Structure 1
Amino acid sequence: MNFDLKTLELTAAASEKCDLLIALIPEGFKPGKDPLSTLAAQALKNGDLATKAGKSLQLYQPGGAAARRVALVGAGDGAARAVRQALLAVAGAIKAPQTKRVVVCFAGKAQADAVSAAVQAVAEASYVYTTTKSKAEARSLSRCVVGVHSAPDVREAFDTAVALVAGIEFAREWGNRPANHATPTLLADAAKGLAKLPRIQCKVHGPAEVARMGMGAFLAVARGSEEPLRFIELRYNGAAKDKAPVVLVGKGITFDTGGISIKPAPEMDEMKFDMCGAASVLGVFRALGEMQPEINVVGLVPACENMPDGRAVKPGDVVTSMSGQTIEILNTDAEGRLVLCDALTYAARFKPAAVVDIATLTGACVIALGGVRSGLFANNDALAAALQEAGESAQDPCWRMPLDDDYADGLKSNFADMGNVAGRAGGSITAAKFLQKYVGELPWAHLDIAGTAWKGGAAKGSTGRPVGLLVQYLLKQSQAKAPKAPKLPKADRPATAVGSPSLSPLRARTGKAAPAVRAPKSGAA
């Protein structure tokens, strides 16, 4: 789908030929003398339309409009949240098979974040998953024109939103794929495909390399599956080499049976979503490839399945993590923290400015926060505040949870340095306390997205969260002064490719988007 931004008042929008014209009517709407404004004013006066966000009046071929259908939609105060709510209220019309060209026109002055919200809402409303359907009807919408009072004033926000949509949809695609179409190998292939974008590199480690690195916890989880594990390492080099990177670590359990501590059968199919943390990291890199911000970012994805065959790790087994700490595996269904702990240890070699891990980690977080906010845990107040602010700005909110040391008491073990679970009480917090043991003094945050990464029921599917939050955070960091990375002894330095000099965003330089990256076809090796 293509997006266009135009300087387009409601008067001119009426002459736009399209299948659907959506006029966003804000509070305090001052109608002009054009037919659409007059129509909206009459509907408001007679009570057939309200400016409350999401209230709408849909019309077919009204006089004075070239559009086949017109939707007058209340946009509330015109802020990003209200605009998103307004457009999702007419999602059915946007997604309809006969809708191929849409014009979204702001009848009042459009703020930059509201324009961004409009782009994302149209993309969300029209999204269709087709990969594993034999007779799928693909997204019918091919073009969306966003009309505003002054296009140059919101151009940057618009371009950023278009790039963000590419990242969110990349994450949704891989989150939605069934486990046999999103194996660790296929996930690694998707990451390799991202290396076609400017400034992005990818390296994939197999089982032998992971074993040599001493990632005993990660290896233990993968033992029960015939699918070989993959440890994916992505790098985006957008700033000088001496600038410390932000490291993103995404949980990549491509299917989770629970292992020997097997899950109940109902809704186990949703455990294909257990790699949504990994998908969000891939989505962030997809967006970075378009935006080209001046920042260095590393993405780490430990990818494997958690299966219960004869080789699978057993409750009571003790394994040695990459950090040298030993873990008594009391519950094999608490596997996400086992793959993440080794990836967090690996992350330290990059001497990062911050480490953020993203994981569908605990059902306890769903109980605590539901599907509205992701759980945020952090050992650094500044990092926590930056992530929370980014979430609010991106309409991808999180909520900070406690990390008191007393919560770690339940992780004590008689047979290892720690157990991998600490009982039901405060389960999301004790899981975070487990991960904290592997980050030392590094500024670190953990996002538990078990409640926000996907929806169940009739709306079942990946949401693409928290790509928006993460991208917003990285963009803010790119605008701030990044700390220089400390010099490492030669033997400890991670391999880095020759980076290009700092450049302004690709779209601003060339007027063109970055090259498209297609997901590999189902079944590709």
Structure 2
Amino acid sequence: MSVSVQPLQCTTDCKDQNFDGIILICQSYEQLPDELECLKAPLQDYSAVDCCVAEEVVVVKVPGLSGNRLVFACTGPVNRDYDDVRRFSDAAAKGIKRALKAGMQRPLLVCPPHSSYAKSTLVAVLGALHVLYTPLEVREHKSSPHKVAVLGVWAKNRAQGEAVTELATALESGRFVCRDIGGSDPERMAAPRVAEYVQAVFKDTPVTVTVVSHLNILEKEYPCLAAVNRCANTVPRHQARVIKLLYCGEGPVQQTLMVVGKGITYDTGGADIKAGGVMAGMHRDKCGSAAVAGFFQILAKLKPKHVKVVGAMAMVRNSVGSDCYVADELVVSRAGRRIRVGNTDAEGRMVMVDLLCEMKEQALQEVSPHLFTIATLTGHAVRAMGPHYSIIMDNGAAHRSGNALQWQKAGEVLGDLFEVSTIRREDYEFHKGKSEYEEILQSNNLPSSATPRGHQTPAAFLIMASGLDKHGLDSDKPLPYSHIDIAGSSGPFPGVPTGAPILAMATKYLEL
């Protein structure tokens, strides 16, 4: 399966007649560079009759320009304390939507570089590409996979233009894969079909794919995941898959990234069923695994050297029925920890914990390893930080290196933003067993959004139940680990997944 990203074409001529309209993205048309001087006068004339030119997207007829028309989408202020580079992606998204309404099929995006934001042009292109993504189910039933024939990108010189378009294509291909998996419905991206999709995407690439499907292996190697899968396993098309990915860049390995993604293809809540009309949208509970696949797609395109990346996608359906796992059950994790199930709707930590344990075992043999879990894990993440931000939490070894703050800084470059949280002693206490039967309590029986520290405590559970607590700062072999909750940043429903947090991850580790 080819990843059919929207075609891009760069040009240094804003009057290039290969395009049928211009989309101008900037803070002020009065401060355009000399190369774009021809765009200034038409907007000055328009502003004389419409004072909303800086507040609303406008279309101006300009003879002699590409397509004789100009869409102006102002970013608004970009220098206030609370402004960030998303002003450019937001404006580009509005601009491309207006261009589509105007009937453009070959729009030229013009976003001159801004002195305060080194990647503003790239961010604008990515903003437009987000709008131009066509969902997988739509592509499979339409003759054309693209909303426009080509998206032009203006740059001052050819080298800059080619660099932006090549990088944007690589990054968008990762988001494309992430959206396909994360956004598609629970049947089109049921676990076996996710495995088929991933195998097709990475065929003949530097990424190696291994799929674990045999029930006996799942039960032996990943008992917590198998417990969640027990009900879904009775329906062949819903049976769990563990998808393992491996990328080894050229040259000596300098860093090893080990990433586990939550891939709940549909979350009914299980026996603790999601009642009250809150189940709709739960096909998006697989965006953590989708992000893992998306990051590997970027690796396959950019082929970075000296880095090894190990990935695991835990693809499971949390079904409800006579064979579903229930609260009060005792499950022994791969690390040998007795876990009391507190709530079957806390299934995400269950499907990831044994894979994290396996990564921990392997990490002891790797060069400079760092372990991660990525998940749409808690409603509390949205309650705490709002609907647009990923949250990252470090264990002691990761915190010592300043990892979370580095991720936050990397996220600011392309507008894939993070808030930093801290795993505290109360989070570990929360998950200690409450009787002699169990060592660890999986969760309480309240929604995470109604639980104090509801997005931090699952990170402590993952550390405890995977055995990572034996590799803290007080051990002979500390292992850096970070948990990333993307419940808020993964995107709205209804709507298209954002692809978070792969832009931040690529920025941090691939030296964009």
Pick one of 185, 188, 205 that aligns with 1:181: 188
Pick one of 209, 215, 220 that aligns with 2:227: 220
Measured after TM superposition, the shift of residue 81 of structure 1 is 3.0
2:475 matched to which residue of 1? Answer: none
Measured after TM superposition, the shift of residue 284 of structure 1 is 0.9
Report the TM-score when normalising by structure 1.
0.82
2:474 matched to which residue of 1? Answer: none
SS at match of 1:401: strand
- How does 1:359-370 map onto structure 2 within 5 Å? 359-370=375-386
Pick one of 407, 414, 428 that aligns with 1:394: 414
SS at match of 1:314: coil
1:29 matched to which residue of 2? Answer: 31
Q: Which moved more, 1:77-86 or 1:274-283?
A: 77-86
2:133 matched to which residue of 1? Answer: 127
Residues 1:445 and 2:457 aligned together: no
Report the TM-score when normalising by structure 2.
0.84
Residues 293, 313 of structure 1: alpha-carbon distance in 2 compared, 3 angstrom cutoff:
same
SS at match of 2:231: coil
Letter in 2 for 1:41: Q
Residues 1:322 and 2:334 aligned together: yes
2:504 matched to which residue of 1? Answer: 469
2:393 matched to which residue of 1? Answer: 377
Measured after TM superposition, the shift of residue 392 of structure 1 is 1.4
- How does 1:237-252 map onto structure 2 within 5 Å? 237-240=248-251, 242-252=253-263
Q: Deviations over 1:252-280 (max 9, x none)?
A: 11111111111115141311001010111
Distance 1:409 1:350 in 2: 28
Q: Deviations over 1:504-525 (max 9, x none)?
A: xxxxxxxxxxxxxxxxxxxxxx
SS at match of 1:253: strand
Identity of aligned residues (%): 23
SS at match of 1:67: helix
SS at match of 2:221: coil
Aligned length, in residue pairs: 468
Distance 1:157 1:36 in 2: 22
- How does 1:319-358 map onto structure 2 within 5 Å? 319-351=331-363, 352=366, 353-358=369-374
Distance 1:109 1:448 in 2: 31
Distance 1:38 1:203 in 2: 59
Letter in 1 for 2:31: F
Q: Deviations over 1:224-266 (max 9, x none)?
A: 1122211111011114465442011110111111111111151
Pick one of 130, 144, 160 that aligns with 2:151: 144
Letter in 2 for 1:250: G
**Structure 1: any 5+ residue segments left out of the alignment?**
480-525
Measured after TM superposition, the shift of residue 326 of structure 1 is 1.1
* Residues 21 and 66, structure 2, Cα contact 8 Å, conserved in 1: no
1:482 matched to which residue of 2? Answer: none
CA RMSD of aligned residues (A): 2.6
Q: Deviations over 1:279-333 (max 9, x none)?
A: 1111111111111111211111111111122221121000011111110001111
Residues 91, 421 of structure 1: alpha-carbon distance in 2 compared, 3 angstrom cutoff:
same
* Residues 417 and 504, structure 2, Cα contact 8 Å, conserved in 1: yes
Q: Deviations over 1:195-224 (max 9, x none)?
A: 325311011112346346432111101001
2:43 matched to which residue of 1? Answer: 40
Distance 1:160 1:135 in 2: 29
* Residues 95 and 139, structure 1, Cα contact 8 Å, conserved in 2: no
Residues 1:290 and 2:293 aligned together: no
Distance 2:419 2:413 in 1: 14
Q: Which moved more, 1:32-41 or 1:169-178?
A: 32-41
* Residues 171 and 503, structure 2, Cα contact 8 Å, conserved in 1: yes
* Residues 356 and 445, structure 1, Cα contact 8 Å, conserved in 2: yes
Q: Which moved more, 1:75-84 or 1:148-157?
A: 75-84
Letter in 2 for 1:417: E
Pick one of 427, 441, 446 that aligns with 1:419: 441
Measured after TM superposition, the shift of residue 109 of structure 1 is 6.4
Q: Deviations over 1:73-110 (max 9, x none)?
A: 32457884332232122242244383211101235668
Q: Which moved more, 1:328-337 or 1:364-373?
A: 364-373
Residues 242, 108 of structure 1: alpha-carbon distance in 2 compared, 3 angstrom cutoff:
closer
- How does 1:5-16 map onto structure 2 within 5 Å? 5-8=10-13, 13-16=14-17
Letter in 1 for 2:213: G
Q: Which moved more, 1:19-28 or 1:74-83?
A: 74-83
Letter in 1 for 2:320: P
Q: Which moved more, 1:362-371 or 1:420-429?
A: 420-429
Pick one of 83, 92, 97 that aligns with 1:87: 92
Distance 1:157 1:35 in 2: 23
Distance 2:185 2:240 in 1: 17
1:300 matched to which residue of 2? Answer: 312
Distance 1:350 1:154 in 2: 42
Residues 238, 330 of structure 1: alpha-carbon distance in 2 compared, 3 angstrom cutoff:
same
Distance 2:354 2:113 in 1: 52
Measured after TM superposition, the shift of residue 150 of structure 1 is 2.4
Residues 187, 130 of structure 1: alpha-carbon distance in 2 compared, 3 angstrom cutoff:
closer
